[in-house]
Amino acid sequence: MLFDIDGTLVHSNKIDSQCFAHIYQTIYERPFPSIDWRVYPHVTDHTIFGTVIRDQFQREAEPQEIQHFQDQFVALLQQKRQRQPQDFMEVPGAKRIIARLLGEADFTVGIATGGWERPARLKLQHVGIPEHQLVLSGADEQIRREDILQKAIDATRAQHPHLERIVYLGDASWDVRTTRNMGLDFIGIRRAGDLEVLHELGAQVVIQDFLDYPTVLRAVAEARVPDAPRR
C-alpha cells in the first residue's frame, strides 16, 4: 500500500501551503501566484516551484536555489509546528493504521508524495509516523506524480519481488487522475466527510478516516482503478 501525505495522513489547514508561498515571497520579493495547486501543470513541489520561477524570471530554477528554498521552507515548517502543534494533526487513525500494517506479513507500506522529501519526512515525524521504516518517494527532481509513484513502486518491488498488488491512498483530484493514468487501484480519503467529491471524479472507494481497521481492510479489498469522471 502506498500513501500520499497531505490530506491523507496529516492535515494542516493549508498552513503548509501558506508557508511555501511566504518563503517564496520573502526570498524573491514577488507575489506567489496561487496556493490552489490545481492551477499548476503537475502538482509537485518541484514542478510548482520551477513553474513559478520560469513564469516570473524566464529561466529554469537552479539546483542551489532549490536547496536554499527548501532550507527556508523546512525551517519555517519546524517553527510553525513548535509554536502551533495543535494545527498540525494526523488524519484520525493514520499513525495507528501505519503501525498495524507494518506488523502485517501480508502488507508492505510506502509513501509517494508530491512534496519534497525533507518536508515530507518532517510532517510524518511530527505526528509520530515512523518514516524511517517506509519506502518514501518525493518530488525531488520528479516532474510528474506518475514518476513519483513509479519510483515508490520500483523501490518496493526491489524489496518485495513477489508483491502482487499496489493500492494507492490519496485525497485529491490529482491522486484520482494519476492512479487512473497508471492503472492503479485507488482508495480516496476525505476526512471532512465530503466523500462524493472523489466519487464524482471516478474514485470507486472513498473512506473518511483510518479509525476502523476492518473498514480499511474492506476498502483495500474493494479498491479499483478509478472510472472516468462523472462530469
Contacts of 24 (CB under 8 A, 6+ apart): 30, 32, 49, 52, 69
Nearest to 217 by CA among 100, 110, 68, 129: 100
Overall domain count for the chain = 2
Given 32, 60, 86, the domain boundary residue is 86
Q: What pLDDT does 15 receive?
A: 93
Do 63 and 162 lie in a common domain?
A: no
Do 164 and 208 lie in a common domain?
A: yes
Q: Is residue 229 part of a domain?
A: no
Q: What pLDDT does 41 receive?
A: 85
- Residue written as cell 500494517? 101
Do 29 and 101 lie in a common domain?
A: no
For the chain, 231 residues long, give each residue's pLDDT as a single digit of tens: 999 999 999 998 789 999 999 999 999 999 999 999 989 988 999 999 999 999 999 999 999 999 999 999 999 999 999 999 988 999 999 999 999 999 999 999 999 999 999 999 999 999 999 999 999 999 998 889 999 999 999 999 999 999 999 999 999 999 999 999 999 999 999 988 899 999 999 999 999 999 999 999 999 999 999 999 986
Q: What pLDDT does 193 receive?
A: 80
Cα distance between residue 205 and residue 207, in whole Å: 7
Q: Is residue 80 part of a domain?
A: yes
Q: What pLDDT does 191 receive?
A: 85
Ranges of H-type helices in the chain: 15-28, 45-57, 63-83, 94-102, 117-126, 145-159, 173-182, 196-201, 213-222
Do 114 and 174 lie in a common domain?
A: yes
CA distances from 166 to 73, 163, 175 (A): 32, 8, 14
Q: Is residue 230 part of a domain?
A: no
* Neighbour count for residue 168 (Cβ, 10 Å): 25
Q: What pLDDT does 231 receive?
A: 67
Q: Is residue 106 part of a domain?
A: yes
Nearest to 124 by CA among 12, 10, 3, 209: 10
Q: What pLDDT does 56 receive?
A: 98
Do 32 and 55 lie in a common domain?
A: yes
Instruction: Please list, residue by residue across 144-155, b when 16 or more beta carbons sit within 10 angstroms of its beta carbon and e when fewer do.
Output: bbbbbbbbbbee
Do 99 and 209 lie in a common domain?
A: yes
- For the chain, the distance separating the N- and C-terminal CA atoms, rounded to the nearest angstrom, is 29
Cell of 101: 500494517
- Structural domain of residue 23, as residue ranges? 15-86
